[in-house]
Amino acid sequence: MMEGRRIIANPRPCSGSRRVIAKKRSRPDGFVNSVKKLQRREISSRMDRAFSISTAQERFRNMRLVEQYDTHDPKGYCLVSLPNLLKRSKVIEIVAARDIVFALTLSGVCASFSRETNKKVCFLNVSPDEVIRSLFYNKNNDSLITVSVYASDNYSSLKCRSTRIEYILRGQADAGFPLFESESLKWPGFVEFDDVNGKVLTYSAQDSVYKVFDLKNYALLYSISDKNVQEIKISPGIMLLIFKRAASHVPLKILSIEDGTLLKSFHHLLHRNKKVDFIEQFNEKLLVKQENENLQILDVSGFVFVVQAALYICVFMFLIEFYVLKGSKC
């Protein structure tokens, strides 16, 4: 479940969400309030969760606005070069690296700001028809990777570019170089950056090939060519390959993330005629959930069955807690 940042070629519209802000209730003195929260932590049946929620205000109490940046700067930049600056667009991603802050807008314009001067350094869009979809800071070589689509190919394929931070600080956004030029990252192709393992996973839908690259120098490490692979899950040190489901089972393979060595191959039994809600990898644990069935948690390091969890267990535990508390009051 320790997956990296995956960017898919198909643009997805952002769905709006409504947020209702309730009227704040008056709070007692800060010292008394903290004492009460500590008291509730000691007597609460869910002490960790209750205390964490109640102390949220204290954790952010000392946060103050230091500086604000504006990505919309039509007067300071040529609109012919970046037509998407004609109107404001909300910020969807913020990345901080060293003394520079990057802000990516929904329209695909990315601006960089210096934290020393608090002024805009440059825009990272190097062509008028470039729409930047996502950002990734590569700490291995101190560079920023931009994932973009272009109007010239109807925004259908992803293009990656790496630019060193020192060049961006000089305002040289065009000093970067393209990445993975040999890959056809059209829908449903994708690129995924795994900062934990220091790897990049790409999928070329044209030839159904997964490729793993080194995040330090972008060298190709190995390829996985199998049209039966439905999904790949990345965890620290390993990859889980999920294949097309058979009638009563789903084939699974676990590979080493470093060199693609096969570590384990097995079939996980499934209930017939019931769809699979999800299959996730969490370190050495495998989580499998089918429709209206128990959640299964398996230890794939030794393939030992650990636990089967179901919703009725939560209800059962609640009833036990209820009757224990009721008995204690009697």
State whether the Cα torsion 258-260-263-267 is positive or negative: positive
pLDDT of residue 194: 94
pLDDT of residue 133: 94
> Which of 234, 229, 254 has the alpha carbon at shortest distance from 244?
229
**Is residue 181 over pLDDT 70?**
yes
pLDDT of residue 303: 44
Between residues 152 and 23, the one the model is more confident about: 152
Q: Name the residue range of residue 98's domain.
A: 84-183
Q: How confident is the model at residue 299 (pLDDT cuts 50, 70, 90)?
A: confident
36 Cα distance to chain centroid:
37
> Which of 153, 166, 187 has the alpha carbon at shortest distance from 114?
166
Mean pLDDT of 159-186: 94
**Is residue 265 over pLDDT 70?**
yes
Q: How confident is the model at residue 318 (pLDDT cuts 50, 70, 90)?
A: low
pLDDT of residue 124: 93
Helix (H, G, I), strand (E, B) or coil at 85: helix
Q: d(Cα 81, Cα 194) in Å, to the nearest integer?
A: 33
Q: Give the contacts of 16 (CB within 8 A, at least 6 positions apart).
A: none
Q: Contact 146/160 with Cβ under 8 angstroms?
A: yes
Q: Give the contacts of 157 (CB within 8 A, at least 6 positions apart).
A: 9, 149, 184, 185, 186, 189
Between residues 315 and 238, the one the model is more confident about: 238
Mean pLDDT of 187-197: 92
pLDDT of residue 35: 65
**Is residue 326 over pLDDT 60?**
no
Query: Is 299 a member of any domain?
Result: no
Q: Give the percent of the chain with pLDDT over 90.
A: 44
How confident is the prediction for the chain on average, in pLDDT? 80
The CB density around residue 272, as the number of other CB atoms within 10 Å, is 8
Mean pLDDT of 279-287: 86
Q: How many C-alpha atoms does 248 have within 13 Å on its Cβ side?
A: 0
Q: How many C-alpha atoms does 277 have within 13 Å on its Cβ side?
A: 10
Q: Contact 95/144 with Cβ under 8 angstroms?
A: yes
Query: Is 276 a member of any domain?
Result: no
Q: d(Cα 89, Cα 104) in Å, to the nearest integer?
A: 9
Q: What's 163's domain CATH number?
A: 2.40.10.360
Q: How confident is the model at residue 312 (pLDDT cuts 50, 70, 90)?
A: very low
Mean pLDDT of 153-171: 93
pLDDT of residue 14: 42
Of the listed ranges 4-13, 74-83, 178-187, the least confidently predicted one is 74-83
Mean pLDDT of 183-202: 93
Q: What is the DSSP string of 282-303?
A: ETTEEEEEETTSPEEEEETTTT
Q: Give the contacts of 231 (CB within 8 A, at least 6 positions apart).
A: 241, 242, 279
Q: Note the pLDDT tens digit of each residue in 11-63.
A: 544 443 333 333 444 444 555 566 666 666 666 655 555 556 656 666 667 77
**Is residue 81 over pLDDT 70?**
no
**Is residue 79 over pLDDT 90?**
no
Q: How confident is the model at residue 74 (pLDDT cuts 50, 70, 90)?
A: low
First to last CA, the chain: 46
pLDDT of residue 12: 47
Query: Is 149 a member of any domain?
Result: yes
pLDDT of residue 325: 55
Question: What's the number of domains the chain is made of?
Answer: 1
Query: Is 104 a member of any domain?
Result: yes
Q: d(Cα 294, Cα 250) in Å, to the nearest integer?
A: 17
> Which of 296, 302, 301, 303 has the alpha carbon at shortest distance from 237?
301
Q: d(Cα 23, Cα 182) in Å, to the nearest integer?
A: 55
Query: Is 286 a member of any domain?
Result: no
Query: Is 307 a member of any domain?
Result: no
Which amino acid does the sequence have at 266?
A: F
Query: Is 238 a member of any domain?
Result: no
Helix (H, G, I), strand (E, B) or coil at 190: strand
Strand order across the 249-256 sheet? 229-235, 238-243, 249-256, 262-269
Query: Is 237 a member of any domain?
Result: no
pLDDT of residue 216: 94
Mean pLDDT of 203-223: 94
Helix (H, G, I), strand (E, B) or coil at 68: coil
